Structure 1
Amino acid sequence: MLTSMRSFVVCLLATICVPVFAAQVIVPAPPELSAKAYLLIDADTGKVIVESNADEVMEPASLTKMMTSYIVSEEIESGRLTEDALVLVSDDAWRRGGSASGSSTMFLDPRSEVRVIDLLRGVIIQSGNDASIALAQHIAGDESAFADVMNQQAQLLGMNSTNFENATGWPAEGHVTTARDLAILARALVNDHPEHYALYSEKYFKYNGINQPNRNRLLFRDDSVDGMKTGHTESAGYCLVASAKQDDMRLISVVLGTKSDSARTQDSQKLLSYGFRYYKTYTLYNEGEAISDARVWKGLTDKVSLTVNSDIEVTIPRGAHKSVKAVTRVDSIIEAPVAPGQILGSLLLKLEDEVLAEYDLVAATKVDEAGFFARTWDSIMLMFEDDEEAASE
């Protein structure tokens, strides 16, 4: 039986034949920012649009609370916690994070019982250290054990340069992350727990008679912004992870280490405006869409349609989709039986010299084996195929 494989290439987009004098999409250079590190990505595709020092290890300050809230949402989704469960506010949580601490606080009363959902709002909207500590102690017994949970979750998400020492972001040796890791966490918040991500868009939260505004100023000046979280300590500087959605495109920006609240807001706005103005996410193929056909030997039919297992989306400069080149590579010898979803080749997407992505091409339907005589005939024909291949080599 023939074991050698060869590939044939099929150009799927007419633009593969665009002449060299075709107009190029012009994208200006990204804006210059004052932040020490920053990143802009598409939330759906994960495409990095702009980055600078995105892998530099830095202090996250209260951006830490994004992970605190993520774990609370995970606990609720798993059934180990409910939104209406009551949490006892310990003296320790009040002392280190309450009104007496001088830090950002929800103004919880010591030894009071507070609903989980209210504490979650306190963490997200008010950046309450007391709420963060109370939730950490309720879930894991103490804050140190909760930090272990945070680190385990960070590894599961692929935040490989992150280490948490507490639930609040209070400065501690070894409490670090990167802009890239924070973008990963932000995507997870949006995609994994949309019902709780909605809390990040709330502009005010009143508790214990005190109404506090969300510290994310972008919520009050840009209707497309619906999250996420600010952070600030003297050593970390002013930080902001922001997310905005226009039409079907969501962007996430991460800005770390600016010198003021206004600077982090302006830098974030510049990134988001640049991304929306010059980039767009295009759906090039839909799940199950027939992309090509492949020859099948020894089957009841001699062809099978090839498709992809999920929608194929790419984030590229606006208008550049007309210049995307799609190339299929299909195994030349495919023998029945063929199962639906069986990988039979690959689809490569390119924009100029950049490889955008590569995907598996799979069988859209099954192909059963033919009868004895048909299989025998195809076996004979395959010998000629083998001879032609050897001669061409």
Structure 2
Amino acid sequence: MPQDADLNFNRLFNMARARFAGAGLLFVALLALVAQPVPAAAQGTFQTPAPSAILVDFSTGAILFEKDADRRMAPGSLVKIMTAAVVFNELHAGKITPDTPFMVSVNAWRRGGGPSGGAAMFAEVNKPVRVEDLLIGALTVSGNDAAIALAEGVSGTETAFAMKMNELGSAIGLTNSAFRNAQGFADPDQVSTAKDMAQLARYVIRTFPQYYPLFSVPDIEWSKIKQRNRNPLLNAGVGADGLQAAWLRDVGYHIVGSALQANRRLIVVVMGAKSEKERIEEAKRLLEWGFHSFEYRQLFAAQTELGRANVFGGDAGSVGLAPREPVMLLLPRNTPDKIVSRVTYTSPLRAPVAKGTEVAKLEIMRGQLKVLEVPLVTTEEVAVGSLWQRALDGATVTVGDTARDLTNQLMAKLKK
């Protein structure tokens, strides 16, 4: 059964150990430094008219701000980020190279090229184009012809390519997204959220740093038509260097952007803005607020034991839990919010347990907002216990189950 414990940062480590040791619960020592008094001005004071928005710290994945970030909307051309991610995976796997030629089919040309009247790279029909050039066309000028050509080149059809998009989305934790095409044409079953788009952007930048600069190519010229990069955030003066913008009738203006200042990278997503002006202003305001209002602090050093998990049938009754890497968090310079942690795992673990096995997670809450989730690993090995130790564990479980059953029966009688 799930085990968890919520503790405020200003509780002392020894008090936590004394309270929870041997009780089958987890404890975590939280740093007193974040409990020091500071003036008020964090998430609660930032407001945006955008229907849905999120600001994420790239390094830690911490959520600095969110407003209705799980609202599902048609993503439009934002899906081209996922299109690129699938192609980047194909490149990484060696299945294709940047110089691999993909044919621009009649379908890609008619539905996404010049004849379509939409955003296009203007690649020539029935002519081969290098994968890298198609990526640039899709990511800098939102070329629908380029996106379709990439999908057909990788998978034969857009439908088959969309299956790869959904498989990758599931693998990287996009829990509220569904993809049906590669270029973002309206489809009632194609949806995503600001939170998922931020997760996707973080995945692309972390996993494919060699390809990420393709998002910021300043301009392209194809079929004697020169076009500038369509991402308005690139020239907003906030250090933005990538991703994608979109617009859909009856939905609004979207943008996914990433910016770097003083070696700190933030990811911003705004969805459903009512105008181009609102989209760029709100994305820019969020980034500026994030860079100026937060600072990094180390909460825990790597391999610091934050709690112990019960072990069934082992030569020890519990095992330590610790983060592999230092736990860093961007914290507001000015906030009255309490910082609270929760460590969860499925109890009990069953012996044998290898050292370094990921079995739990640490969740950090700032006020009501979960801002960070970190995996925890076992700090030592727990071998299978003796026959007597295993019998004792079994008896303990049986007694616990019996007591719980009797309690439930008594409560049921009292309610009658």
Let me know the Cα RMSD of the aligned residues. Answer: 4.4
In structure 2, the residue corresponding to 1:195 is in which secondary structure?
Answer: coil
| Conservation of the 8 A alpha-carbon contact between 2:321 and 2:376 | no
Alignment counterpart, residue 247 of structure 1, candidates 262, 287, 297? 262
Matched, 1:52 2:52: no
Matched, 1:5 2:19: no
Matched, 1:100 2:118: no
Name 1:280's counterpart in structure 2. 295
**CA distance in 1: counterparts of 2:193 and 2:369, whole angstroms:** 26
In structure 2, the residue corresponding to 1:50 is in which secondary structure?
Answer: strand
Classify 1:313/1:210 alpha carbon distance in 2 versus 1 (closer, same or farther; 3 Å): same
How many Å apart are 1:63 and its aligned residue? 0.5
Unaligned runs of 5+ in 2: 1-20, 309-318, 345-351, 384-416
Q: Which digits, 9 at most, give the CA deviation of each residue in 1:91-118, with x for residues without a partner?
A: 1111111111110000100011110001
How many Å apart are 1:247 and its aligned residue? 2.4
**CA distance in 2: counterparts of 1:124 and 1:66, whole angstroms:** 8
What percent identity do the matched residue pairs reach? 34
Alignment counterpart, residue 266 of structure 1, candidates 281, 284, 305? 281
Classify 1:30/1:149 alpha carbon distance in 2 versus 1 (closer, same or farther; 3 Å): farther
Alignment counterpart, residue 221 of structure 1, candidates 228, 236, 239? 236
Name 1:199's counterpart in structure 2. 214
Q: Which digits, 9 at most, give the CA deviation of each residue in 1:117-139, with x for residues without a partner?
A: 01000010010000001111111
Matched, 1:123 2:127: no
Classify 1:286/1:68 alpha carbon distance in 2 versus 1 (closer, same or farther; 3 Å): same
| Conservation of the 8 A alpha-carbon contact between 2:240 and 2:257 | yes
| Conservation of the 8 A alpha-carbon contact between 1:147 and 1:164 | yes
Classify 1:169/1:30 alpha carbon distance in 2 versus 1 (closer, same or farther; 3 Å): farther
- Equivalent AA in structure 1 for residue 122 of structure 2: F
How many Å apart are 1:308 and its aligned residue? 3.3
- Equivalent AA in structure 2 for residue 260 of structure 1: S
- TM-score of the superposition, structure 2-length normalised? 0.72
Larger mean CA deviation between 242-251 and 57-66 belongs to 242-251
**CA distance in 1: counterparts of 2:163 and 2:353, whole angstroms:** 47
**CA distance in 2: counterparts of 1:44 and 1:246, whole angstroms:** 13
In structure 1, the residue corresponding to 2:210 is in which secondary structure?
Answer: helix
Name 1:68's counterpart in structure 2. 83
Matched, 1:135 2:150: yes
Classify 1:367/1:132 alpha carbon distance in 2 versus 1 (closer, same or farther; 3 Å): closer
Q: Which digits, 9 at most, give the CA deviation of each residue in 1:209-245, with x for residues without a partner?
A: 3321111112112251111101112233221111112
Matched, 1:110 2:125: yes
Q: How many residues align?
A: 363
**CA distance in 2: counterparts of 1:48 and 1:144, whole angstroms:** 33
**CA distance in 2: counterparts of 1:31 and 1:326, whole angstroms:** 24
Unaligned runs of 5+ in 1: 294-303, 330-336, 369-393
**CA distance in 2: counterparts of 1:146 and 1:339, whole angstroms:** 39
**CA distance in 2: counterparts of 1:353 and 1:267, whole angstroms:** 23
Classify 1:15/1:222 alpha carbon distance in 2 versus 1 (closer, same or farther; 3 Å): closer
Alignment counterpart, residue 174 of structure 1, candidates 182, 189, 199? 189
Report which of the two structures shows the higher radius of gyration computed on alpha carbons: 1
| Conservation of the 8 A alpha-carbon contact between 2:113 and 2:120 | yes
**CA distance in 2: counterparts of 1:104 and 1:116, whole angstroms:** 18
**CA distance in 2: counterparts of 1:154 and 1:202, whole angstroms:** 26
How many Å apart are 1:86 and its aligned residue? 0.4
How many Å apart are 1:357 and its aligned residue? 5.7
In structure 2, the residue corresponding to 1:57 is in which secondary structure?
Answer: coil
How many Å apart are 1:181 and its aligned residue? 1.5
Matched, 1:210 2:225: yes
Classify 1:307/1:159 alpha carbon distance in 2 versus 1 (closer, same or farther; 3 Å): closer
- TM-score of the superposition, structure 1-length normalised? 0.76
In structure 2, the residue corresponding to 1:251 is in which secondary structure?
Answer: strand
Classify 1:226/1:14 alpha carbon distance in 2 versus 1 (closer, same or farther; 3 Å): same
**CA distance in 2: counterparts of 1:90 and 1:23, whole angstroms:** 61
- Equivalent AA in structure 2 for residue 86 of structure 1: P
Q: Which digits, 9 at most, give the CA deviation of each residue in 1:149-176, with x for residues without a partner?
A: 2122222222222222211111122121
In structure 2, the residue corresponding to 1:174 is in which secondary structure?
Answer: coil
In structure 2, the residue corresponding to 1:229 is in which secondary structure?
Answer: strand
Matched, 1:318 2:318: no
**CA distance in 2: counterparts of 1:271 and 1:193, whole angstroms:** 25
In structure 1, the residue corresponding to 2:195 is in which secondary structure?
Answer: helix
Name 1:79's counterpart in structure 2. 94
Q: Which digits, 9 at most, give the CA deviation of each residue in 1:296-348, with x for residues without a partner?
A: xxxxxxxx998531221222212779x9689999xxxxxxx997547999988
- Equivalent AA in structure 1 for residue 97 of structure 2: T
| Conservation of the 8 A alpha-carbon contact between 2:176 and 2:196 | yes
In structure 1, the residue corresponding to 2:211 is in which secondary structure?
Answer: helix
In structure 2, the residue corresponding to 1:70 is in which secondary structure?
Answer: helix
Matched, 1:36 2:51: yes
In structure 2, the residue corresponding to 1:253 is in which secondary structure?
Answer: strand
| Conservation of the 8 A alpha-carbon contact between 1:61 and 1:236 | no
